[in-house]
């Protein structure tokens, strides 16, 4: 549904180099990497916010993202950014309704269908009770759920999530990942999740890419990629990776006693 083919990007120096990645319907792909490894830059190129200096991003197998208009891209791709801002004067409901913008007519009037989809998205993210509050007055965790609600209301078939569980307690992290997993399967979405939460991605992702210094080191099925050797090569730390039966696993950094002295 969405594919990066050898994309690169530079600011004052190269940030992403020769990254290839594809997202398939009904599947969740995760990207794990240290800070500054280029993960968010890759996501911005996948959404068309940044244009690759080389390579290309292809939608639906044959459409170059670089040749598409912003509104057309937004009908196909929804993004939950890390710590996205909200308008101070908007209510929670009004902010979530922004997800319907790519589908509105030139006059920009929302229909009852738009309102229905927005209410459904708020209900799915447990934000209904807050819909009349100002978006600027809710907590940081609630704000992340609101950003997800806006993306769900957008009804796009490709979902890009950048650290969207950051600053949430563990029960909300798991609940939101379960929700993302469910809607990905039910709606046949192609979903990409960037996160530092290795255990969450190992539990919910079908495929995982490990990224460092602007390059993808390896990618494949989660159980094959999340290994002690791969994580040590990525972070420079020793890890304990333990199978809990089935697809479940537990990943913990091993902190040796001499490190604490």
CA-based nearest residue to 201, from 164, 253, 158, 151: 164
Domain ranges of the chain: 2-85+156-260
Class of domain 2-85+156-260: alpha beta
Q: What pTM was estimated for this model as a whole?
A: 0.92
Those residues with Cβ within 8 angstroms of residue 206's Cβ, 6 or more apart along the chain or in another chain: 27, 28, 29, 221, 222
CA-CA distance, 209 to 211, in Å (whole number)?
6
> Quick one: pLDDT at residue 191?
98
**Tens digits of residue pLDDT in 166-211:** 878 888 899 889 999 999 999 999 999 999 999 999 999 999 999 9
- Burial bucket for residue 35 (CB in 10 Å: 0-12, 13-18, 19+): exposed
Report the interhelical angle of 140-153 vs 112-124 (nearest 10°).
140
> Quick one: pLDDT at residue 69?
94
pLDDT at 151 > cutoff 90: yes
Q: Give me the count of residues in the chain.
A: 261
Those residues with Cβ within 8 angstroms of residue 229's Cβ, 6 or more apart along the chain or in another chain: none
CA-CA distance, 55 to 6, in Å (whole number)?
5
HSE at residue 131, side-chain half, CA atoms within 13 A, is: 19
> Quick one: pLDDT at residue 261?
53
Reported confidence tier of residue 260, pLDDT bands at 50, 70, 90: low
């Amino acid at each position: 549904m969405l594919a990066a083919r050898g994309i690169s990007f530079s600011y004052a120096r190269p940030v992403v180099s020769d990254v290839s990645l594809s997202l398939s319907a009904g599947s969740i792909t995760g990207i794990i990497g240290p800070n500054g490894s280029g993960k968010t830059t890759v996501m911005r190129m996948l959404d068309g916010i940044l244009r690759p200096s080389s390579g290309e991003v292809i939608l639906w197998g044959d459409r170059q993202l670089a040749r598409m208009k912003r509104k057309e891209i937004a009908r196909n791709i929804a993004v939950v950014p890390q710590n996205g801002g909200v308008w101070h004067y908007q209510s929670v409901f009004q902010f979530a309704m922004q997800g319907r913008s790519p589908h509105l007519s030139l006059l920009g009037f929302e229909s009852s269908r738009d309102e229905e989809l927005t209410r459904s998205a708020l209900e799915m993210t447990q934000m209904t009770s807050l819909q009349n509050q100002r978006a600027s007055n809710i907590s940081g965790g609630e704000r992340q759920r609101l950003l997800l609600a806006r993306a769900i209301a957008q009804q796009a078939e490709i979902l890009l999530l950048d650290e969207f569980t950051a600053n949430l307690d563990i029960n909300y992290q798991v609940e939101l990942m379960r929700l993302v997993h469910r809607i990905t399967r039910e709606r046949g979405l192609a979903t990409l999740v960037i996160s530092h939460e290795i255990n969450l991605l190992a539990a919910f992702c079908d495929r995982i890419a490990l990224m460092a210094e602007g390059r993808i080191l390896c990618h494949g099925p989660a159980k094959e990629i999340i290994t002690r050797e791969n994580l040590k090569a990525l972070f420079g730390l020793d890890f304990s990776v333990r199978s809990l039966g089935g697809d479940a696993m537990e990943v913990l950094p091993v902190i040796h006693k001499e490190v604490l002295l």
